[in-house]
Chains A and B, each alone.
Chain A
């Protein structure tokens, strides 16, 4: 069972994502802050991180940089209510970018894509 780590400071978003993704068969851990994320990643060992960009206490783009520095190959999907961050050059360090919606079809597709990605070792 693939593990999904959700980081979003909005309670209703965390609940919605957790419910729908658990229904898809994923094991889900939902956090309200990106602070101390490395510890959670080491303990939970997620296969994909779904990360909010605009959080009250920390910028998701900064959290993304931290993840890239410490967990080079961990897939990250950025989520935002705002499409305008999509063109932010920092966001290209993410695997995918999804504009938030109550319909999670696109998010689920991107999660599947992230899990399917394969680059063989030589």
Chain B
């Protein structure tokens, strides 16, 4: 276990509920979620010992000072950090798992440090189910149809068809989990370097599904508003870490997911938050999406041929020949691409990094098609389109099971 840097100015030695705020250089943003968390703890958990923990990657921009200076009446704070130079959201969570285990906490709520729309009720709805019978709480918020395109096109349909549970925001970033689950996470053998980075969210959700922990979705009423991201912007290593974690867990849990047929909804907690607020718009650069798909086709065609089944590759070539005006990446083909890539990942047909990087342009192509298919749609209609995509993944799953073999 790596060393950590721990600051505990109020000498907290135990807690019933912990709110964790992971960060790296969030000095300009962290005060707001910290303040909202403190109000949430005092208002909704008045009889329980609570603490707010900033889990940091040794930020150099004054994040720690901003955290401790945030208005936060009546709730103690702790700061835990990886050693300087050790980065990764997952590493921050690992420190949190360790800390809450030492504090003996029953409930843990985690919220992003750059949240602008969090209210005290988010703490209530993410935390309260943990004092009932639930072990894991995923967030449920309205998001703009183009916010969360990795969720809509990969994380949600794939986890749903694999593990049979419909958790709409498996990488939402804001979660609740029990102290018992934190200890369980801490010792789990599937931890790896991707999980230590941005693979952490999908890893926690998938483990909760696979180990049949009671899951609920907390309806948070307000949309998630944080630093906006254009889906066409550079994915960086995040894409590789999230998808790589999904593929890694597919290998570990194959004997389970091969038996899963179709999917079941997940309970929802916390309706009645008042008027639901619509999410802000997200602009998409469709030219950039097409260009990145085309550049990827030039660069990775040989890799795709090696990784994909011949019939999938042949269909992909047809897609690649379409001009931008007629471009379409059909859902069933997308499902087969992801399934083939998972098999190729297991079989190490390509160096792992190259395989995952070669998937990114295909994701851009699928995102372009998603944007085209849903433009002009209201949020509700776009949600129905996401549902159709998920059902298509479930229909296509026998293909994956057959390709995966015994």
Seen from chain A, the residues whose Cβ lies within 8 Å of a Cβ on chain B are 65, 68-69, 72-73, 75, 84, 86-90, 92-95, 113, 116-122
Contact = CB atoms under 8 A, between A and B. Distances in A.
Contacts of A117: 164, 261-264
Interface of B: 140, 142, 163-166, 168, 210-212, 219, 256, 259-268, 271, 276, 378-381, 383-384
Nearest to A76: B265
Contacts of B164: 117-119
A87 B384 contact: yes
A117 B211 CA distance: 18
Contacts of A121: 212
A120 to B, nearest CB: 4
B265 A93 contact: yes
A18 to B, nearest CB: 25
B376 to A, nearest CB: 15
B261 A122 contact: no
B167 to A, nearest CB: 10
A120 B142 contact: no
Contacts of A88: 380
Given A89-B219, A92-B166, A120 B259 contact: yes
A94 B383 CA distance: 14
Given A93-B265, A122-B210, 4 more contacts: A86-B380, A116-B261, A119-B260, A120-B259
A116 B398 CA distance: 14
A95 B166 CA distance: 9
Contacts of A122: 210-212, 256
Given A87-B383, A89-B142, A90-B271, A118 B265 contact: no
A69 B261 contact: no
B262 A113 contact: yes
Nearest to A75: B264
A95 B381 CA distance: 18
B347 to A, nearest CB: 25
Residue picked from A92, A93, A117, A119, most chain B C-beta under 10 Å = A119
A86 B256 contact: no
B268 A118 contact: no
Given A86-B384, A117-B264, A118-B262, A92 B212 contact: no
Contacts of A87: 378-381, 383-384
B394 to A, nearest CB: 9
Contact of B268 (A73, A93, A116, A120): A93
B380 A90 contact: no
13 contacts: A68-B265, A75-B264, A86-B384, A88-B380, A92-B168, A93-B266, A94-B265, A116-B261, A119-B260, A119-B263, A119-B264, A122-B210, A122-B212
